[in-house]
Amino acid sequence: MPRFALPLLLLPLAPCAPAQILADFEISLQDKEFGRFTVQFDHYNSPHAAANFIRLAEGLVPWLDGAEGKVRKEPFYDGLTFHSVTAGVEIAGGSRSGQGDDNPGWTIRDDFTSPGGGTYTMFMENDGPNSNGSRFFINLPATTNANPRRAGGRYTAVGRVLQATNPPGGNGRLTVAAIANSVPGFHLVDSVRIRYLTPDDLTFRRNLLDPDHFSLFLLPSAREPRFSFRREGEATLLDWNGTPGSSLLLWSSPDLRSWLGPFTLVNTPGEAPFGYDLTPSFARAPRAFFRGGIIEYPHWPSTERIFANSAILLNFRDPNRGIVNITCFFDGSGYSGTYQGTFGSGEFVIPQVLSTPYAREFQLSPTTGNQPTYHLTLHYDLAWSNGSPPFSIPVLANPSRLSGSDLFNSANPLEGGAWSYVPGP
């Protein structure tokens, strides 16, 4: 039986106490202490987001330093800046590059069980659906509407900044407000220290590293790769010790001084291992050097729904055509079939499919009928078996979100997309 199908009767039935896991941030400015604030995690409603943050803050699992292409196991947030601030609105941190464009090598899915909202809520930053990593922002007003950049976005709420307290919490929200009214890139996070105030909270920490936990085992981590090389005809191939459900982030250099990367090589579950052909780039180079990290994803929901002999229901708003509804009926190949919907009926093919852990990307190309060609991404959203994370099993949401565009109007993305899966007989 898969671990995520653990019977519910094995889970605790006692009501949970209020969240008591705290993160104490110590902030400095120009080598002098500037202030402190404390975030209280909502690890009952957002267990994966809280667990991911705690693992990084305490250095409990290895992560990938994208600036150097190296795997590290040390506190992630210590020494970072707040790379973005908006006066009276928010502060954002958690970026190793200082540019707000990176992550610890992996992403985790969204979880919208927490009501969020309220002043001084901490959210996980993302680059679209199910792309949380290490970055976070603290929103000062009660909603995110005060920041135009957040309009229409959805973010996982992970905790809330407490009011001013005695040390270690220090001057609390006053510190956050002062950072928001400054300039980005100068205030340093000297340290993030996690406090566990109840026995149940210590149990939560132990579960972070339990590979058999019914829920937290889904979280990814990094590890060092082991490279090898082989000849295949005229080609030179790079191999690595990947596993099904992992990805290699690879950097290369001709001289150990300048590095190019990362280049992502995905080992999707169910597919045969492959080697990376170095011939096009390095066939004439006298030498080449490689480094990087392997990201292990214990769960790839994008491979769990078999499209052969099944159907998917698509609905979205095309900015150029209005509301669109399409039902695709797949044949036994899972790559072609017939469709019915807004543009009538016809046949389609999917010439190429790209799967990442939480998404399936493909081009829906009509071969007959009047349907436009759409480039679509089906997102595999997280849901809970009974709506309450402490006492339920993580499952796939059906329906889930959909994004994409008309192939010939990529500048106008689809809006409000959703898709549903109907298994075959």
> What percentage of the chain has pLDDT greater than the value 90?
78
| pLDDT score of 8 | 36
CA atoms within 13 A on the CB side of 13: 4
Let me know whether 325 and 391 are in one domain. yes
Residue 199: its H or E element = helix 199-207
Q: What is the pLDDT of residue 180?
A: 96
* CA dist., res. 12 & res. 35, Å (int): 39
Res. 201: pLDDT tops 80: yes
- Arithmetic mean of pLDDT, 269-273: 86
Q: DSSP 3-state assignment of 3?
A: helix
Predicted local confidence at residue 130, as pLDDT: 97
The Cα angle at residue 298 between residues 297 and 299, in degrees rounded to 5: 90
* More confident call, 223 vs 7: 223
- CA angle 359-218-299, nearest 5°? 40
- Confidence bin at 169 (pLDDT 50/70/90): low
Write the DSSP symbol of residue 185.
T
Examine the domain organization and report whether 272 and 315 are in the same domain: no
At 409, the pLDDT band (50, 70, 90 cuts) reads: confident
Do 282 and 343 fall within a single domain? no
CA distance 95 to 76: 9
Q: What is the pLDDT of residues 280-297, one digit of tens each?
A: 888 777 788 999 999 999
Within this chain, do residues 176 and 272 fall inside the same structural domain, yes or no?
no
Q: Dihedral sign, CA of 288, 291, 294, 295?
A: negative
| 3-state SS assignment for residue 353 | strand
Tens digit of pLDDT for each residue in 231-241?
998 889 999 99
When mean pLDDT is compared over 88-97, 115-124, 387-396, the highest value belongs to: 88-97
Residue 1 reports pLDDT greater than 60: no
Q: Which of 264, 296, 328 is the last residue of a domain?
A: 296
pLDDT band at 7 (very low <50, low <70, confident <90, very high): very low
Number of domains in the chain: 3
pLDDT at 230: 92
One domain for residues 200 and 232: no
| Residue ending a domain, choose from 249, 268, 296 | 296
- 259 and 334 housed in the same domain: no
CATH number, position 105: 2.40.100.10
Domain boundary among 248, 281, 296: 296
> Rounded mean pLDDT of the chain?
91
| pLDDT greater than 70 at residue 410 | yes
**pLDDT for the residue numbered 171:** 78
Structural contact between residues 96 and 138, judged by C-beta atoms closer than 8 angstroms: no
Digit-coded pLDDT (tens) for 375-402: 999 999 999 998 778 889 999 999 999 9
Contact 377/403 with Cβ under 8 angstroms? yes
Instruction: State residue 166's pLDDT score.
Output: 65
The pLDDT value recorded for residue 14 is: 39
Distance in angstroms (rounded) separating the CA atoms of residues 349 and 363? 8
pLDDT of residue 170: 66
- Same domain? For 238 and 308 the reply is no
Same domain, 79 and 157: yes
* Residue 162: pLDDT band with limits 50, 70, 90: very high
Residue-level pLDDT at 19: 52
Could you give the C-alpha distances from 175 to 29, 37, 144, 179, 184, in angstroms and in order? 12, 6, 20, 6, 14
CB 20 within 8 A of CB 43: no
368's tokens: 């007959």
CB distance 158 to 110 below 8 Å: no
The per-residue pLDDT for 385 is 93
Examine the domain organization and report whether 168 and 129 are in the same domain. yes
Look up residue 145 and give its two tokens: 């509407």
pLDDT at 2 over 50: no
Q: What is the CATH number of the domain that holds 372?
A: 2.40.128
| Secondary structure letter of residue 376 according to DSSP | E
* Confidence (pTM): 0.92
Structure tokens at 270: 């169910």
Work out the pLDDT band at 273, boundaries 50, 70, 90: confident
Q: Residue 36 in contact with residue 171, Cβ under 8 Å?
A: yes
pLDDT value of position 68: 84
Residue 35 has pLDDT above 80, yes or no: yes
Does 20 share its domain with 160? Answer: yes
33 and 65 in a single domain? The answer is: yes
Task: Please tell me whether residue 7 adopts helix, strand or coil conformation.
Answer: coil
Region 235-254 average pLDDT: 94
The structure tokens listed for 38 are 């404390």
- Domain region containing 61: 3-217
171 or 185, which is more confident?
185
pLDDT band at residue 167, thresholds of 50, 70 and 90?
low
Please tell me whether residues 201 and 244 are part of one structural domain.
no
Counted residue by residue, the chain has a size of 425
